[in-house]
Amino acid sequence: MPSIDTLLAQMTLAEKLGQLTMTAAGYAVTGPVVAGDTTQAIREGSVGNLLNLFGAEAVHAAQRLAVEESRLKIPLLLGLDVIHGYRTIFPVPLAETGIFDPQVWALTAREAAREASAEGVALTFAPMLDVARDPRWGRIVEGPGEDPYVGRCLAQAKVRGWQTARLESADALAACAKHFCAYGAVTAGREYAPVDISARTLHEVYLQPFAAAVAAGVAAVMPAFTDMDGTPMTAHVALLRDHLRGRLGFRGVIISDYHAIAELMNHGVASDLTEAAALALRAGVDVDMMSDAYRTALPEALDHGLVTMAQIDAAVRRVLELKERLGLFADPYRRGSTPERAAALSGRRALARTVAARSLVLLSNVRQTLPLAPSVRTLALLGPLADAPAQMHGPWSAAGDPSKAVSVLAGLRERLPQAHIAHAAGVALRTQPGTDALAAQQAALQLCDAADVIILCLGESATQSGEAASRAHPELPEPQRPFAEAVVARARALGKPVVVVLFSGRPLVVPWLIEQAQAVLAAWFPGSEAGHAIAEILSGERSPSGRTPVSWPRAVGQIPVFFGERPSGRPYNPRDFYTTKYLDESNDPLFAFGHGLGYGECARGNLQLTPAQLTQADTLEVRVEVHNPGERTLEETLFVFTHLPVASVTQPRLTLQGFGKITLGAGERGTLTLHVPATQLRFLGPDLEPLWRPGTLQVFVGPSAERSRLLCGSIELRAS
Ligand code: GLC
């Protein structure tokens, strides 16, 4: 391959702008094409990158046009949204986050990378690192939940899993951290709405996972569609050029989101495509996804002196360097040339099953309704998601075939062959005019009469979650609530327990359902192995261990409710009217961050913090003794929080500093030891620079952010 300098010197302006253009292949083939026939554009070198093309044969055919028919033979970069699996679909990211196991986070990315690269994909538009505290926002499903520390850990694990240490490997994918940044803070949880947050919150919360992704060597970053306090991220010089590239040292490629450069005109910061293209390039956006702004408008911007050839060359260089790091020049057909062995695929399905089972969160379990007793002979399996394989993947299922997902019905029938499982949907997922809803409901209700236990599968469809899926009423979608109430009423009259399996891409605000059902299992969207995983938990084959990575609201009016809130000058006091509170609702979430029940509960005690006096050169060791008094093996997850009671700026009431797991057999005791580097305990001072403040630091350890369950201790931070 000629050196990048040599290539650059040979390239025409059109060929340079082609390397800065990413077109959706499927869009070009089936819809109004961006560049005339994309095939011809690739031959001419005026499209250098594609998205949404996958399958070894199709990818190699497109690659052949570039490397054998174009003038400079520059290979294509092919990207796809491999978010939580390629064909084997793992639980949605929010669900997987709730396993709180970075090794699993890395492993599922690694396996998805193997599967996708085997079909020619070289870049994934993942990990999605948008911290989110607003369940109205549909994309909360795609990210790390409410906490920035979890976002940092997820970023490190996912970049490692996608990219490995050798990006040129045939099974490595370039990762693209998105959406930079604070997309999760959209106004009122409404998709694509403006973002207005303080600089402190931006640095303390939303930038944190991206800093970790850059430190982990992420190859690409995608700016968010949204603005930040009036400046669209796609044109944000201060955050893209000065912070991401300057302060964080990001050397990779910035790829715009879909059509986002052209949308600078909708934001009102560009009067035409030429201005939009110039703004984006000057901010540091290298690749124009689907606006066709760079190819069609940068020549005019260049003529008018809005951009320089040096800026164009710098962007082209970064794209060519990424292609070189991926090994695309060395062997453009490397990805997609070696089909995976059947054993790899079966092993991956087994992994998907385990990960799905570990992601399920048992929210409530009255009188140990679960696991199902061996004596259970007849089950009524009801609800629109009981036999709905097409919904189990959730949003962003890449090349996954939804029809191949295991439904709850299939999983239970396989796991409980001796049980009679009577099934009826009872109600449609979403209101369907013209259907005889009453007859369907009556037929379902009758199945309760002969059942020992009623299992009710409710929740969102896959399209009610993810991008462009904000919901002002993040509750059970109509018409499910009336049906659920009828089932619960019938069951109560019969004296039979109702177990709800709740599918969603967000914490649904259903306090009445939690109150009335005997057990509620949050399944999120578990992926290809949904039914098998749910059956493992319901049958008791495995104790549930998943935890919720977001606080679960009691009411929409509480949103945003999260554990990292700053203190009030009038902290809640039930005996004082004039304190922070609602007249009509508790301040606390229905379930705290980290909540999740098992089939038994561990006891925790004897918190030890070492050293008692900590300097910035030290590492805090947190030890806690754990005991499993029950008869089943339990996987316990514990969190370490801190609070700085006095500082030059107010500090969050709880700051997550670490988490860890310990698995204990029946009756076993053990000690969980976590280490927190002292530098992690610095906070951002008034100038937003890290500050070390000698004085008392409170330390809390527990199974969730619920304060009543936290062990408390304190240490002294010393100057040195
Ligand atoms: C979408 C999403 C982004 C995705 C891109 C390509 O609009 O915002 O997350 O990677 O377009 O599909």
Span 41-57, pLDDT tens digits: 999 999 999 999 989 99
pLDDT given for residue 1 in this prediction:
78
Span 134-175, pLDDT tens digits: 999 999 999 999 999 999 999 999 999 999 999 999 999 999
Cα 536 to Cα 149, 411, 632, 661, 675, distances in angstroms: 31, 9, 14, 21, 33
Span 527-536, pLDDT tens digits: 999 999 999 9
- Of 109, 112, 106, 150, nearest to 547 (Cα)? 150
| Pocket mutation for ligand 1, best pick of 259, 467, 470 (most atoms within 8 Å of C-beta) | 467
CA of 257 to the centre of ligand 1 (A): 6
Q: Write down the architecture of domain 603-717 according to CATH.
A: Sandwich (2.60)
Q: Nearest C-alpha to atom 10 of ligand 1 is from which residue?
A: 125
| Pocket mutation for ligand 1, best pick of 54, 78, 80, 81 (most atoms within 8 Å of C-beta) | 81
Cβ(183) – ligand 1 distance below 6 Å: no
For residue 468, pLDDT over 50 is answered with yes
Cβ(467) – ligand 1 distance below 6 Å: yes
For residue 35, pLDDT over 90 is answered with no
Q: How far, rounded to the nearest angstrom, does the alpha carbon of residue 58 sit from its chain's CA centroid?
A: 29
Ligand 1 atom showing the smallest separation from residue 142 Cα: 9
For all residues of the chain together, what is the average pLDDT?
96
Q: Which two tokens stand for residue 422?
A: 């009577």
Instruction: Provide mean pLDDT across the span 223-245.
Output: 98
Q: E strands within 159-281?
A: 174-180, 220-223, 227-228, 231-232, 253-254
Ligand 1 atom showing the smallest separation from residue 178 Cα: 9
Banded pLDDT at 33 (limits 50, 70, 90): very low
- Of 702, 706, 715, 572, nearest to 643 (Cα)? 715
Q: Nearest C-alpha to atom 3 of ligand 1 is from which residue?
A: 257
CA of 571 to the centre of ligand 1 (A): 41
- Break the chain into its structural domains and give their ranges: 86-325, 356-558, 603-717
Least confident range of 55-59, 171-175, 419-423, 522-526: 55-59
pLDDT given for residue 315 in this prediction:
98
Banded pLDDT at 26 (limits 50, 70, 90): low
Cβ(125) – ligand 1 distance below 6 Å: yes
What is the per-residue DSSP string for 36-86?
A: SSHHHHHHHTS--EEES--SHHHHHHHHHIIIIISSS-PPPEEEE--SSBS
Q: Does 611 sit behind a cis peptide bond, omega within 30 degrees of 0 on the bond before it?
A: yes
User: Is 127:213 a contact under the CB 8 Å cutoff?
Assistant: yes
Instruction: Provide mean pLDDT across the span 49-70.
Output: 93
Core vs surface per residue 372-411: b (16+ CB within 10 A) or e: beeebeebbbbbbbbbbbebbbbbbbbbbebeebbbbbbb
Span 426-446, pLDDT tens digits: 998 877 776 688 888 999 999
Q: Which residue has the tokens 């403006």?
A: 194
pTM: 0.97
Cβ neighbors of 203 (< 8 A, separation 6 or more) are 684, 688
Cβ neighbors of 702 (< 8 A, separation 6 or more) are 594, 604, 638, 639, 641, 709, 710, 711
For residue 576, pLDDT over 70 is answered with yes
For residue 30, pLDDT over 50 is answered with no
Ligand 1 atom showing the smallest separation from residue 225 Cα: 8
Cβ(178) – ligand 1 distance below 6 Å: yes
Q: Rounded to 5 degrees, what are φ and ψ at 429?
A: -60, -45
Distance CA(568)–CA(340), nearest Å, equals 56
Span 362-410, pLDDT tens digits: 999 999 999 999 999 999 999 999 999 999 999 999 999 999 999 999 9
Instruction: Provide mean pLDDT across the span 89-95.
Output: 98
R_g (Cα) of the chain, nearest Å: 26
CATH number for the segment(s) 356-558: 3.40.50.1700
What are residue 223's DSSP bridge partners?
A: 180
Task: Tell me which residues are annotated as active site.
Answer: 257
Cβ neighbors of 640 (< 8 A, separation 6 or more) are 622, 656, 657, 658, 659, 660, 674, 676, 699, 700, 701
pLDDT given for residue 32 in this prediction:
33
Q: Which two tokens stand for residue 61?
A: 């055919």
Distance CA(77)–CA(322), nearest Å, equals 9
The CATH topology of domain 86-325 is TIM Barrel (3.20.20)
CA of 354 to the centre of ligand 1 (A): 28
For residue 29, pLDDT over 50 is answered with no
| Pocket mutation for ligand 1, best pick of 226, 257, 397 (most atoms within 8 Å of C-beta) | 257
pLDDT given for residue 37 in this prediction:
66
Distance CA(249)–CA(244), nearest Å, equals 6
CA of 61 to the centre of ligand 1 (A): 24
User: Is 77:121 a contact under the CB 8 Å cutoff?
Assistant: no
For residue 324, pLDDT over 70 is answered with yes
